Amino acid sequence: EPEVTQTPSHQVTQMGQEVILRCVPISNHLYFYWYRQILGQKVEFLVSFYNNEISEKSEIFDDQFSVERPDGSNFTLKIRSTKLEDSAMYFCASSGIGGAYNSPLHFGNGTRLTVT
């Protein structure tokens, strides 16, 4: 069964450094998402992406965050200057041709970001 893949599985960075989290969504999916989950807490929406542009973003997704789909397969999340509070598990997800309305989200295994 096709799956969403994320790399790296764990990223450790120093405060103030830039990080790029990478995702390869399921190949025929059109909608892409980033969510994050602070340890033991809920899954929080960051951003959705469709047709090569951001369709919606949350208050968390400030100017320090950006997303890109640089080619036909990768979907990246960049954090320009990391803060301690950015430490979390970051999940990439994609949904299929059923559209944004009814399609389930397929999540990757996540990247655990630790900011020291």
Residues that bind other proteins (CB under 8 A): 33, 35, 41-45, 48, 55-56, 58, 91, 99-102, 104-110
CB of 2 to other proteins, least distance (A): 14
Helix, strand, or coil (residue 21): strand
Q: Do 6 and 22 contact (CB within 8 A), yes or no? A: yes
Which CB sits closer to other proteins, 8 or 16? Answer: 8
* Distance in Å, CB of 14 to other proteins, minimum: 25
- The C-alpha atoms of residue 18 and residue 108 are separated, in whole angstroms, by 22
Is residue 91 a contact partner of residue 107, using CB atoms and an 8 Å limit?
Answer: yes
State in angstroms the smallest separation of the CB of 17 from other proteins.
25
In the bound state with other proteins, the residue whose beta carbon lies nearer, of 13 and 109, is: 109
| Nearest approach, Cβ of residue 35 and other proteins (Å) | 8
In the complex with other proteins, the residue whose CB is nearer, 29 or 106, is 106
Query: 3-state SS of 33-68?
Result: EEEEECCCCCEEEEEEEECCEEEEECCCCCCCEEEE
